[in-house]
């Protein structure tokens, strides 16, 4: 499968208001793993859910089903957070997380959500600062779960403690930190992680793949359009860079980076005239 086919599969998966989160998360990996069989991994998720149902027994007891999701994923299957090599790119691709049984908070949360959904539980993603979580409601009570740390249940004090660890006690838990986020927001956060990892590794080609998908997800996001243009420029695609940078100025003419982008456009045009 070439990159174009991978991008088309991703575009098809994110089209429409109701996206299949597992399918989308797997198609994120297609440009990096072109031989990936998405259906095979969806079947694996189905089998994990079947294991949960077998252990849970009583399908009406939501607490038991939730506990059994934890048991199957973290005790039986052995999934865990990759604290030793957190920024390994493979942690951000759901297919590799499912094979290696380790990942970062957001990919393990997607795994948790998708297995839970298959056994009739509504588990939502929570865009907690610096550490993605999931939550569900049982008997009117919100329950916060940390899939990165073995599915541990987090109390309000635990949530503040997590923030203190991440930010040195500088911020307090705010209600909006605990809001559920949409599948589209989850996919955007996953792709931003991939983008950042490859940017830090000075790998513009792989970084561009993530930005291509971010633009597919939000075609009018000026930041992503600009970044795609700058990456194309680094990879000596002057025509593509020019198209994106001009589009950025249409979308965000008063942006703080607009002056710099205008200078880039001038240089590209000057180089183009010199070549011709």
| Same-domain pairing of 33 and 170 | yes
Pull the structure tokens for residue 16: 């429409």
> What CATH number is associated with residue 28?
3.10.620
Give domain status of residue 188, yes or no.
Answer: no
Q: Over the stretch 41-89, which tens digit does the pLDDT of each residue have?
A: 999 999 999 999 999 987 678 889 999 999 999 999 999 999 999 999 9
State the sign of the Cα–Cα–Cα–Cα dihedral 57, 62, 66, 69. Answer: positive
Say how many Å lie between the first and final Cα of the chain, rounded. Answer: 35
pTM: 0.94
For residues 160 and 154, give the distance between their C-alpha atoms in angstroms, rounded to a whole number. Answer: 10
Boundary of a domain, candidates 181, 210, 236: 181
Query: What number of other Cβ atoms are within 10 A of residue 146's Cβ?
Result: 24
- pLDDT given for residue 6 in this prediction: 81
Range of the domain at 262: 220-275
| Same-domain pairing of 29 and 142 | yes
The H or E element containing residue 116 is helix 105-118
Give domain status of residue 190, yes or no.
Answer: no
Please say whether the beta carbons of 115 and 52 come within 8 A. Answer: yes
Q: Over the stretch 87-137, which tens digit does the pLDDT of each residue have?
A: 999 999 999 999 999 999 999 999 999 999 999 999 999 999 999 999 999
Pull the structure tokens for residue 197: 């990892």
Boundary of a domain, candidates 181, 208, 239: 181
| Same-domain pairing of 161 and 242 | no
| Same-domain pairing of 132 and 254 | no
SS3 label, residue 127 = coil
The shares of helix, strand and coil residues in the chain, as percent rounded to the nearest 5, are: 65, 10, 30
């Amino acid at each position: 499968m070439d990159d174009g086919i991978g991008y088309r599969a991703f575009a098809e998966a994110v089209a429409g208001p109701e996206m299949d989160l597992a399918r989308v998360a797997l198609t994120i990996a297609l440009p990096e793993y072109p031989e990936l069989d998405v259906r095979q991994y969806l079947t694996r998720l189905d089998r994990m859910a079947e294991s949960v149902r077998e252990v849970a027994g009583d399908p009406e007891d939501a607490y038991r089903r939730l506990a059994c999701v934890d048991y199957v994923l973290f005790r039986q299957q052995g999934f865990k957070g990759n604290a030793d090599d957190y920024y390994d790119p493979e942690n951000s691709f759901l297919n590799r997380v499912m094979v290696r049984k380790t990942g970062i908070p957001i990919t393990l949360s997607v795994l948790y959500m998708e297995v839970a959904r298959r056994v009739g539980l509504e588990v939502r993603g929570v865009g907690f600062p610096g550490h993605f979580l999931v939550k569900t409601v049982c008997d009117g009570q919100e329950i916060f779960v940390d899939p990165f740390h073995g599915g541990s249940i987090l109390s309000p004090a635990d949530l503040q403690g997590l923030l203190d660890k991440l930010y040195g006690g500088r911020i307090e838990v705010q209600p909006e930190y605990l809001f559920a986020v949409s599948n589209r927001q989850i996919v955007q956060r996953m792709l931003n992680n991939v983008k950042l990892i490859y940017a830090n590794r000075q790998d513009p080609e792989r970084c561009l793949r993530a930005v291509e998908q971010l633009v597919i997800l939000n075609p009018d996001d000026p930041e992503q359009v600009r970044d795609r243009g700058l990456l194309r420029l680094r990879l000596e695609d002057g025509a593509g860079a020019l198209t994106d940078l001009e589009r950025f100025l249409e979308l965000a003419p008063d942006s703080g980076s607009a002056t710099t982008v205008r200078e880039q456009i001038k240089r590209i045009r000057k180089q183009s005239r010199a070549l011709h």
